[in-house]
Structure 1
């Protein structure tokens, strides 16, 4: 039975490799920013509909979607007919440098894996379960997965998984927690030459804030990160700027440390307002939670991927690779068991560079993308087949210190 399922997965993905490559290339050629992924949404949903999935477009968010396929047992018995496994699909890009984080490959990999699981369910009526390809927009900026979680997108899902291209073949990164913050200062305009003393300078507040944070870094923990940019700070040199705006990302290994870091950085902003006389407005954005890797599930994926020739840098279950990057898949991992392995692209630069953008669109990245999709598909099928495995996955999740929270279906 195992050999037969592997053959189904192999044929499902390799038999569609041209179409999958075209999907990836379309996204790469048409990069769209967070919550603006209209072309990607339409292409992906049409593709999945053509493959026999039941698709909900604009699912809870304008550019999110849910494509599902239930096996015969699940279709007849509902939740008693096997688990629902979600394969998370990302497709937003970055300003100016497009798919420099390889989300076009994530979309291809997730769609390919979803199709392979669908084909396994279709070919074997006794296989319990349901597969969901969940289109999650806005990973780069707004925390689309957290927005979907709040609206109940995972309420009927037992396990989630995805894979991300990077510079290493890795099973489990210690993705840190991240907070996105927007800071606005409001002062008072004045003629910068004739009567500057009548003004309250919002640019000064922005500069003081930036310097405060820069000086604070000497006292920050080595695992903490604070990154910021000035979005606006005046238009004419001859006018005292009335308004300024900054955006910051704060990172720490976990949510507890993130709040400690935030208390320090917040003081930098508020003191700048006090020093200049500006009104301070601070808007906390979505918090990206630290990743909780489900090791039981990781090991299943590892076995399949290694059998296909992938060599991981972190094969030891106790080894977590460190990274300064974050992901809203961390929020998923606090809601249900989740894995987020990485696969290596041939790029000189890391993610978020032009080199990596070119690698994400290169033909040579295709074979490994398909291999990873096969490993994800086989992992999902194994979860559906093996009640004992699913029990271990759930037990590990429950013992990790988090509990699944039933979200309210806010619209």
Structure 2
């Protein structure tokens, strides 16, 4: 995937002094819009919305970029871009020749059920918008006319917490013309990279036969027994799991009444591994656990994969090194112990983005030690204290983008990192998608062990 024709390398390289002044201008532009950016973040935070339902956030973001009061030339805003709650805002030449260097800044804004913005996606929306404003303002400060060799796009990407909006946008072609993408995620520390892992979601349904649990239980086929056995099978499997693998799930439906043998049960599990190769192995072993429970209880089992698999985030060390250098200039204190690279982490659909375009997904401290996905983090992400750190991360992103534009050879190094990482993963990508995961959802069917059943919910 990616652009059909090579992009220019952008304007000619600047001297260190000139580039430093341009970075200072980017930071000043972000500060000039600090009040608007804070209000944008607060509006999203105060009205949390779930995946694909971020209508208020979508409206807030598109109004922000369409606002005539923003400094500089206007943004071209496309609301409802390929998804109902996605958007695209662009600045730059409409029909340049040759094609410009095209930088993308990503904004998330979906929330979590019950606890709101406990992952700080309101701050992700703010930092993406702020960084884009900073780069645009810096470029507009150059001698007129503005450089025709650079284009900036802001993409609103729904449904990171569930569904995978970025993957929908990849499939719709939204990333095809981008050369480098940037976003930043709130956390407990400043880090240019965390090892966000690959994830496969699976729903397992067992079908048995109802009967009176006291009068004639021998007439029933107990679907709850199958669910409990499957849960226990996975618990036993943990003894042979790699330390970096994760399996966690719930029983969503366990029956209706104690005196009725349950004829139907449903489980939902998330499977995670640091690479697509490991995820394929883990998925096959987990599905064997589900099928074994069906054999033991004589139930039928339906195993259905989620809407999308999330891929592991591919490192781009050239971007990370540049981001760290800029962040340190702003006072950021990055984790120095790389032991966290082998520690536990989450998953993001930004991983899929890094398989189609070079990108960076750093994490930034927001003034709180609260942990993500907790009520305490919800409060922290809406606090005034978080604003300083969010805008600081935005400045570091903007400065990094300016380095990509104006530093000699940096863009080619970024592209080479991308080529090397995708080449390393390419074979595993094909294997995990089509070959070694035999019982996940395909385009038109859901796997039912022992038979094939039409998938009414296929996308």
**Structures share a fold, TM > 0.5?**
yes
Confirm or deny that 1:303 pairs with 2:325: yes
Q: Residue 296 of structure 2: SS of its match in structure 1?
A: helix
Instruction: Note the C-alpha offset of 1:22.
Output: 1.2
Matched residue, 1:375: 396
CA pair 35-224 structure 1, distance change in 2 beyond 3 A: same
Q: Residue 75 of structure 1: SS of its match in structure 2?
A: coil
Matched residue, 2:47: 30
Between Structure 1 and Structure 2, how many residues are aligned? Answer: 401
Instruction: Note the C-alpha offset of 1:113.
Output: 0.9
Instruction: Note the C-alpha offset of 1:202.
Output: 1.9
Q: How high is the TM-score relative to the length of structure 1?
A: 0.92
Choose from 168, 175, 183 the match for 2:196. Answer: 175
Choose from 136, 144, 147 the match for 2:165. Answer: 144
Matched residue, 1:123: 141
Deviations 1:109-154 (A, max 9, x none): 0111112222233333136211111111111111221221122111
Matched residue, 2:385: 364
Instruction: Note the C-alpha offset of 1:319.
Output: 8.6
Q: Distance in 1 between matches of 2:364 and 2:302?
A: 41
Instruction: Note the C-alpha offset of 1:170.
Output: 0.6
Q: Distance in 2 between matches of 1:315 and 1:301?
A: 17
Q: Distance in 1 between matches of 2:417 and 2:99?
A: 23
Deviations 1:173-214 (A, max 9, x none): 122111111111122222333333332222222111111111
Instruction: Note the C-alpha offset of 1:238.
Output: 2.9
Instruction: Note the C-alpha offset of 1:76.
Output: 4.6
Choose from 192, 196, 200 the match for 2:221. Answer: 200
Structure 1: unaligned runs, 5 residues or longer: 406-410
Q: Distance in 1 between matches of 2:355 and 2:408?
A: 22
Q: Residue 400 of structure 1: SS of its match in structure 2?
A: helix
Structure 1 stretch displaced more, 302-311 or 43-52? 43-52
Choose from 98, 101, 105 the match for 2:123. Answer: 105
Does the 8 A contact of 2:23 with 2:402 survive in 1? Answer: no
Structure 1 residues 280-319: aligned runs within 5 Å: 280-285=301-306, 286-314=308-336
Matched residue, 1:87: 105
Matched residue, 2:58: 41
Q: How high is the TM-score relative to the length of structure 2?
A: 0.83
Matched residue, 2:360: 339
Structure 2: unaligned runs, 5 residues or longer: 1-17, 430-458
Structure 1 stretch displaced more, 274-283 or 344-353? 344-353
CA pair 321-182 structure 1, distance change in 2 beyond 3 A: same
Deviations 1:360-396 (A, max 9, x none): 1111111010011011112222223346221111112
